[in-house]
Amino acid sequence: MPDELEGEFVLKEKKEAENEPSPTTPSEASAVKNLQKIHFLSSLAKYPADVIFENQEEDEEIILLVRRDLITNVPWLIAALVLIFIPPLISIFSYLFTPFFNFSADTLLVAELFYYLIIIGYIIIQYTLWYFNVGLVTNKRVVDLDLPGILFKHVSETKLNIIEDVSYNQVGSIRSVFDYGDVYVQTAGTEENFMFDRAPEPALVTRIIADLIGGPR
C-alpha cells in the first residue's frame, strides 16, 4: 500500500513537471521566474531584475543578491544628522568665539558650504560602501564584492560545485530583533572562504545556497 501511494506521488510530481513550460533560453527562464524588482535600498533580492555583473556568462542568472541589512546604515545616518546640526549650534554660540576669531562673512559662507559638501561626501562614501558590499549567488557561482574602504575593493568568486558547507551565525539582541547575521560559505581545500557580512534573513540565504549546492553536481 505505501509503495502504491509513493508511486502516485511520484507520478503526480512527474505530471506537474510535464505541465510546466520549459524555458529554452536564459531570458525565457527569467521570464518564467518571478523577477523581483529592486531599488536603491534593496538589501536582499531573490531573482533580482535589472542587475548584471562583470564576466556574467550568457546562460548565467542571478539567483540571490545580498547586501548588508539596511539597519546597519543607522549609525552613519545618525552621525550625518548630528554633523548637519553643528554649524547652526556654532552660530548660536558664536559670541563666545568673537574675541578670538575674526573672519569675514564671505569666508564664513564658503567655510560653511565646504563643511556641508564634506557631509554630502561622507554620505556618498558611506552609501557607496554599503551599496557595493554585495554578494551574488548565481546558478553557477558565488561572487563576493567586499569594499572595506572607498579605495580598496576585493572581488572573489567560487564555483558552486566546490562549495562544501554553508552556515550562518546570528549573535546579539540587535541581530536577532532585526533578523540579520553573517553567512559563511566554506569552499573545498585551499580555496578562499566567503562571508556575507550582516546579511538580512541569514536562514533564508543559507537555505537557498544549501539547496543550490545540494543539487546535482
Partner 1 sequence: MDINSILAIFSDQNGLAKFALIVLIGFYSLFALIILIQIRNLNRIVNQIKFSPIFTFIAFNHLLAALALLVFAVLFL
CB of 184 to partner 1, least distance (A): 21
Q: Which amino acid is at 203?
A: A
Q: CB nearer to partner 1: give 67 or 175.
A: 67
Q: CB nearer to partner 1: give 9 or 103.
A: 103
CB of 176 to partner 1, least distance (A): 29
| Beta carbons within 8 Å of 210's beta carbon, 6+ residues apart | 166
CB of 79 to partner 1, least distance (A): 18
Q: H/E element holding 119?
A: helix 105-131
Q: Which residue carries 561626501 as its cell? A: 121
The three cell numbers of residue 13 are 510530481
Q: Which residues pair with 184 in a beta bridge?
A: 167, 195
CB of 62 to partner 1, least distance (A): 10
Q: How far apart are CA 73 and CA 70, in angstroms?
A: 6
Q: How far apart are CA 4 and CA 16, in angstroms?
A: 18
Residues that bind partner 1 (CB under 8 A): 38-40, 50-54, 101-104, 106-107, 110-111, 113-114, 117-118, 120-121, 124-125, 128, 131-132, 134, 136, 145, 147, 150-151, 153, 155
Q: CB nearer to partner 1: give 157 or 182.
A: 157
